[in-house]
Structure 1
């Protein structure tokens, strides 16, 4: 045995010496195979631009902190222009359609082209390829961004028909968020009463029948409380946790509330538990809608609150990807809302009164420093948005790309 070991060791030493002085032809050194993406988690901070990230970093973590979304190793920028006849500034429907189909279209369109023809969507394509699929949002589950991945509509407001398409056509395995009103006929309140005190305009308004009953008949577990969500087992899952959005986006100090019945990180974790049982992999779309809605209100503190929940959600996705290296995680915003900049406190600058003005001063965590969030509009802007990613093919998001590039990267993974 000792002789054999010596011979092997000598052979290795000789081989090493030869390789250091002359190339070896005809023999390729084997390298460990790079992980192939089997799962995709795509996370949308609706309305989130670079300044939203920086304000959240300073407020929640301080000058030396780093958000979970900014710790992802690959980063780039996405342009957001739609193909709209009257505006160069996108809405969420056109922005998400670019991601979900690889085609630019008009504002208000849900995965249809400019001639109103339906386009194949990533969610439906992933399902057809045998993958599990899901969506999680703090908006209505039928709102523009999630809808673009799983439905087609010439008008984003057709939310009851979008819900019907989920059940009849694209069939996502997990659907979690708000928007119970669109799943029930007018006059048929569900777990969340019609015309609640927080917003008297909220009430059941569907026109496609009782879609919750139909979902149950199609094999979905239906849940509407945190306890029910926690107890839900494997299999298809529909969870609706609000009449409309899972927050109240009223003007600052006038009924604005961000207290989702179930947090975005919790919903995301549950979705991953269910989808990860599919041996063929999965596609999960996740969205924090409140960033956009509160930025429309120029509401700094609620925007920062929503940003933190988004970042905690990214941490959940990153932890999953760390344990499953065949998972690609991508974080982006569909557009920027508010024309936000992060500025020093300057009494000679704007007073901060009214909309589209400075909001603050706000504390920089762990210091005596303060900053202001200066809004220039209550609408969307044409700013590029940052994108960060980790996992197989994450490096393809490096550089500046049109928002349709998301589809170009994800479609081959999800349909392969």
Structure 2
């Protein structure tokens, strides 16, 4: 097993109960380079001569707001007691702390969390790839492009939201999404940009494929401040697509797809207008991005995000959170299929922070933890006699479980990291989120 280097800065959080459960569930064999289902010790990331190969490409997948309990709830929901998610089938397992360097807050937001991955420094909440003084720092997207690799981003959030923005732009505040879109076109120039957020690419009063003030969210509408960025992108050679059919037939080497005004879902409490039915599934966007980026003989960086895990956890919406986890794992399966055919690819799956303070419990009418979820009458019932959300069926069994939310905010528990491919052994163990940057950067710039 490779030994991870000590953190460069800050203090490593102690691994709590959630982290211990993750490592035990993953199995000590995963950390020692053994197959998760037992068997002989393997070294899949080494050549016949015993020297580590170099990663040609990197696929980095973020389940925004996803920690150990989200993954376990998804496993029970999708695969049952004896099954494994695609994301949990990767041979290397680690655990990262996520605290920011914020002057007032202990728990990170998505902007500071993603910035730690892409610039290798902890920063304040709301910051997009700037240091604690607001100075821009080199991003992984820019460094990968400078090294000759193609780059791309796929998300169910706005393409200019915190995670993709951190990899491909710099801003003192995450709210400047029109400026972030402008930086994509002027500076980092990702070959593939797929997701939501059309509103930020068009000036106010100039709706595009998705009309202003839609019925499911009248507050949405075009609000860009940098002119018609869609037209500018087309002038730069991007093929622009607006729906799944156009995405499927697109054949350009530069691709811009905007499939919603803002996020590709509606994040509300169960039964209160919540929706998870993206116009284009995350797995389809992932497959198309891989098709385009793999044409570059020098390799690529692809950043993939399922934002709804976080947003639905903010709303304590277990029904939609589990749907988002199905979406995420389907995208991971697409990425794993690609890695199986291209073993010179480093694949990393993780979450930037935990959201919801989530735990899994048995159904127990006597266990009342306060209002906030649905009652055991069923998901979406609207009842609040119990704080527990559910019950939900365990796949392939007659058993059920409930989800217990303790907050509508982020928490500071560590998040699991699973990985495979060249360099993945460096992600075993416990470390700060800035260590992920070191591993990704080494793969992309070597």
Fold match by TM threshold 0.5: yes
**Cα deviation code 1:320-348 (max 9, x no counterpart):** 00100100000000000000001111121
Q: Aligned to 1:136, which of 150, 154, 159?
A: 154
Partner of 1:378: 408
Q: Aligned to 2:291, which of 261, 273, 289?
A: 273
Distance 1:153 1:34 in 2: 36
**Cα deviation code 1:83-122 (max 9, x no counterpart):** 0000010000000000011000000000000100001000
- How far the C-alpha of 1:31 sits from its partner, in A, is 2.3
Distance 2:207 2:389 in 1: 38
Asked if 2 retains the 8 angstrom alpha-carbon contact of 1:352 and 1:359, the reply is no
1:155 aligns with 2:173: yes
Distance 1:47 1:70 in 2: 17
- How far the C-alpha of 1:264 sits from its partner, in A, is 0.2
Partner of 1:258: 276
Matches within 5 A, 1:8-407: 31=49, 34-350=52-368, 353-355=371-373, 357-407=387-437
- How far the C-alpha of 1:32 sits from its partner, in A, is 6.0
Q: What SS does the corresponding residue of 1:273 show, helix, strand or coil?
A: helix
**Cα deviation code 1:242-288 (max 9, x no counterpart):** 00000011221011000000000000000000000101000000000
TM-score by length of 1: 0.92
Asked if 2 retains the 8 angstrom alpha-carbon contact of 1:221 and 1:232, the reply is yes
- How far the C-alpha of 1:35 sits from its partner, in A, is 3.3
- How far the C-alpha of 1:352 sits from its partner, in A, is 6.6
- How far the C-alpha of 1:33 sits from its partner, in A, is 5.3
Q: What SS does the corresponding residue of 1:112 show, helix, strand or coil?
A: coil
Asked if 2 retains the 8 angstrom alpha-carbon contact of 1:35 and 1:325, the reply is no
**Cα deviation code 1:53-73 (max 9, x no counterpart):** 000000111110100000000
Task: Tell me the matched-pair count.
Answer: 387
Q: What SS does the corresponding residue of 2:283 show, helix, strand or coil?
A: helix
Partner of 1:23: none
Displacement over 4 Å in runs of 4+: none
**Cα deviation code 1:159-215 (max 9, x no counterpart):** 000000000000000000000000000000000000000000000000000000000
Q: What SS does the corresponding residue of 1:162 show, helix, strand or coil?
A: helix
Which consecutive unaligned segments of at least 5 residues does structure 2 have? 1-47, 374-385
Partner of 2:379: none
Distance 2:368 2:234 in 1: 54
Q: What SS does the corresponding residue of 1:404 show, helix, strand or coil?
A: helix
Asked if 1 retains the 8 angstrom alpha-carbon contact of 2:268 and 2:317, the reply is no
Which consecutive unaligned segments of at least 5 residues does structure 1 have? 1-29
Q: What SS does the corresponding residue of 1:160 show, helix, strand or coil?
A: helix
**Cα deviation code 1:336-378 (max 9, x no counterpart):** 0000001111121016743592101111111111111010000
RMSD: 1.1
